């Protein structure tokens, strides 16, 4: 299909929700994808942080094939081995928790919100308020949209939204403490904001949240949908601050490329859940769970260490880009990194793609890097060479116009 036909196809057959790039992907392996013209791209976007273990990892694909040959779906009215094995493996990574499987990050967060309200009801709390943060992104269902930064998401169009969310400045403990009232039941945070511009919550802030939750009897909810599952070099990113949230949500890379969400809740919250209070037809699909088990097996302690090392190499290289006057700041942890520019990032993303490198831009000016955990040093070097040539081409023109 010719490039100019993509847009008309989009407008004829799809609801126009995504500004898709005019390439048709036909194959993907590890950190490389190919389009229908045979063009090869180094992928530092990983399907929006989903292919953490790389595209079509052999072990994940084999697990999918093996499970698919047995059965695809039987419903949550019966036990299945992949779901039981995964529940054991995942709760084993978060001691004292129980899990509910869904299909996406938004669903995982939706349940976190329900659980907080359920817990509040059972604990005689009169209020319903969940404190959230500016630039947060928790999903696109009505409740998760309400919990996200409305200014950035056209939330007003979809009103009325569920009530009970109050957004506060990120990393501001004083304002957080001042905002806690008798109506507050929980604090919901992405330990590293992804869509909001790769903003890292300081260890002090996360510890402060944990202390405030203990003092005021609130629930600490961590949205690890993007920053969890090893991406920052620890299985959960909040581990680095030494905190233990009551509810943790996961999705994205959990099943190596298949849809799967998970909400983990510590027993003091989980014990209130009873049959009929929540459910999902597809949640915890056996094929997704079988894939996820392989992903968890791949995330060994030495692999997590290697993510930290690779992340440091990539961050150091990106820091070198500060020689270009348009680069304001490099931030992030492990393999979740952002480069804030002083100008729009879209032309950088476009030219990089034309030169064979897939990256992303969020919050208009933040280039985002979410490579596979298994990306090689050689691939990072090649990617950074391409990125450098993009900067060499674009920066002089941008500077000349200023």
Q: Which stretch binds ligand PLP (CB under 6 A): 126-134, 188-196, 240-248, 387-395?
A: 188-196
CA distance 368 to 361: 6
- Quote the CA–CA distance of 62 and 80 in Å, as a whole number: 18
198 interacts with ligand PLP by CB under 6 A: no
Q: Which of 190, 246, 294, 333 binds ligand PLP (CB under 6 A)?
A: 190
State the DSSP string of 93-143. Answer: TSTTEEEEEESSHHHHHHHHHHHHHHHHHHTT----EEEEETT----SSHH
| 13 membership: H or E segment, kind and range | helix 3-13
Site for ligand PLP in 133-152 (CB under 6 A): 137-139
Q: Which is nearer to ligand PLP, 104 or 288 (CB)?
A: 104
CB of 50 to ligand PLP, least distance (A): 9
Query: Cα(132)–Cα(113) distance, rounded to whole angstroms?
Result: 11
Contact 120, 127 (CB under 8 A): yes
Q: For residue 348, give the 3-state DSSP assignment.
A: helix
Nearer to ligand PLP, 110 or 379 (CB): 110
Q: By CB under 6 A, what part of segment 253-292 binds ligand PLP? A: none
Q: Min. distance of Cβ 251 from ligand PLP in angstroms?
A: 5
* Total binding residues toward ligand PLP, as defined by CB under 6 A: 14
- The torsion angle over the Cα atoms of residues 241, 120, 84 and 139, rounded to 10 degrees, is -70
What distance in Å separates the CA atoms of residue 135 and residue 144, rounded to the nearest whole number?
A: 13
Interacting positions 322-361 with ligand PLP (CB under 6 A): none
Using CB under 6 A, which of 113, 251, 260, 337 touches ligand PLP?
251
List, in order, residues 6 or more apart from 179 with CB less than 8 Å away. Answer: 131, 166, 168
Classified as helix, coil or strand, 194 is coil
Site for ligand PLP in 285-324 (CB under 6 A): none
Least distance (Å) between residue 109 CB and ligand PLP: 6
User: Does residue 41 touch ligand PLP according to CB under 6 A?
Assistant: no
Closer by beta carbon to ligand PLP, 208 or else 228: 228
Q: Which of 223, 246, 333, 379 binds ligand PLP (CB under 6 A)?
A: 223
Q: Which of 97, 184, 226, 288 binds ligand PLP (CB under 6 A)?
A: 226
Q: Which residue is nearest to ligand PLP (CB)?
A: 105
- By CB under 6 A, name the one of 43, 110, 129, 195 that touches ligand PLP: 195
Phi, psi dihedrals of residue 94, rounded to the nearest 5°: -140, 85
Is 225 a binding residue for ligand PLP by CB under 6 A? The answer is: yes
Q: Which is nearer to ligand PLP, 261 or 398 (CB)?
A: 261
* Positions of E strands within 351-390: 357-358, 360-362, 366-369
Query: Tokens at residue 281, please?
Result: 């037809």
Site string for ligand PLP, 68-107 (x = CB under 6 A): ------------------------------------xxx-
Answer for the pair 197, 340: CB distance below 8 angstroms, yes or no: yes
Q: Does 109 bind ligand PLP (CB under 6 A)?
A: yes
Closer residue to ligand PLP, CB minimum distance, 137 or 369? 137
Q: How far is the CB of 106 from ligand PLP (least distance, A)?
A: 3
Strands 97-102 and 261-266, by their bridges, are antiparallel
Per DSSP, helices labelled H in 133-219 are: 142-147, 173-179, 203-216
Which residues of the shown chain bind ligand PLP in the complex (CB under 6 A)? 104-106, 109, 137-139, 190, 194-195, 223, 225-226, 251
């Amino acid at each position: 299909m010719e490039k100019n036909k993509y847009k008309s196809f989009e407008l004829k057959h799809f609801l126009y929700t995504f500004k898709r790039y005019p390439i048709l992907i036909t194959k993907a392996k590890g950190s490389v994808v190919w389009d229908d013209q045979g063009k090869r791209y180094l992928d530092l976007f990983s399907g929006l942080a989903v292919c953490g273990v790389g595209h079509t990892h052999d072990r994940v694909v084999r697990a999918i094939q093996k499970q698919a040959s047995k059965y695809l779906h039987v419903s949550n009215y019966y036990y299945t081995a992949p779901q039981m094995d995964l529940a054991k493996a995942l709760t084993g990574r978060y001691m004292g928790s129980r899990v509910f499987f869904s299909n996406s990050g938004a669903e995982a967060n939706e349940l976190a919100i329900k659980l907080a309200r359920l817990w509040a009801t059972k604990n005689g709390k009169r209020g319903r308020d969940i404190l959230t943060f500016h630039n947060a992104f928790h999903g696109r269902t009505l409740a998760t949209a309400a919990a996200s930064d409305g200014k950035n998401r056209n939330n007003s169009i979809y009103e009325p939204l569920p009530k009970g969310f109050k957004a506060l400045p990120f990393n501001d403990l004083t304002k957080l403490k001042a905002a806690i009232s008798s109506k507050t039941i929980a604090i919901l945070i992405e330990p590293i904001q992804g869509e909001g511009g790769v903003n890292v919550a300081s260890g002090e802030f996360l510890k402060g949240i944990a202390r405030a939750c203990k003092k005021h009897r609130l629930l600490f909810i961590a949205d690890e949908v993007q920053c969890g599952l090893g991406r920052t070099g620890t299985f959960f990113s909040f581990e680095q601050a030494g905190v233990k949230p009551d509810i943790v949500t996961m999705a994205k890379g959990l099943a190596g490329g298949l849809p799967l969400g998970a909400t983990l809740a510590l027993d003091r919250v989980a014990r209130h859940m009873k049959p009929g209070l929540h459910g999902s037809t597809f949640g915890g699909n056996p094929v997704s769970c079988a894939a996820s088990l392989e992903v968890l097996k791949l995330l060994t302690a030495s692999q997590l260490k290697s993510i930290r090392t690779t992340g440091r190499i990539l961050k150091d290289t990106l820091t070198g880009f500060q020689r270009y006057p348009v680069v304001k700041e490099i931030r992030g942890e492990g393999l979740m990194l952002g480069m804030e520019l002083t100008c729009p990032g879209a032309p950088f993303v476009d030219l990089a793609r034309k030169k064979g490198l897939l990256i992303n831009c969020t919050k208009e000016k933040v280039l985002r890097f979410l490579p596979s955990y298994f990306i090689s040093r050689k691939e990072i070097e090649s990617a950074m060479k391409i990125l450098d040539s993009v900067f060499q081409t674009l920066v002089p023109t941008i500077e000349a116009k200023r």
